[in-house]
Amino acid sequence: MKFKAAQRSVFGSKVIDSLERESIETEIMHAKWLAWHGKGRKALERIKALDAQLLTRTGYELSTLWWNLDRVCGYLRSNASTLVNYGGRHRKGLPISGGVRCESGHQPTHG
């Protein structure tokens, strides 16, 4: 969710013009992909580089985008070494969630 919040805050940011929005959103999506595939340190490097680029803009450090990217950095710093390669698990047919499953492989429903 931290990546999604950062992506959404790009749209409303006053420090980014409309022509740059797509490239900045793409950078955030690429970092999310890296994290999803267990490459937390590379994702952190990518977000830090984006943050450094944006820090040159007046008012950026007061923006929601800055706050959300800072939260992404904090998450990646804390969890980079323990991130699971969900893409690899998915390709191997392994579960990617911690939900309880019954013998048939389906999650039980409670009524």
The answer, as to whether pTM is greater than 0.85, is no
Token reading at 100 = 């309880």
In this predicted model, what pLDDT tens digit does every residue of 51-70 receive, in sequence order? 999 999 989 888 999 999 99
Domain ranges in the chain are: 2-9+20-91
DSSP E strands: which ranges in 17-82? none
Q: How do residues 72-111 score in pLDDT, each as one tens digit?
A: 999 999 998 898 888 888 889 888 776 655 555 555 555 4
What pLDDT was estimated at residue 107?
A: 56
Quick one: pLDDT at residue 42? 96
Distances (CA, A) of 42 to 25, 32, 35, 39: 17, 10, 8, 6
H helices, E strands: number in the chain: 5, 0
Kindly tell me the sign of the dihedral angle through the C-alpha atoms of 5, 7, 9, 12. Answer: negative
Locate 80 and state its tokens: 């980079």
Task: Give me the amino acid identity at 93.
Answer: G
pLDDT in tens, 38-51: 999 999 999 999 99
pLDDT at 17: 86
Tokens of 96: 């990617």
Asked if the model's pLDDT at residue 32 lies above 90, the reply is yes
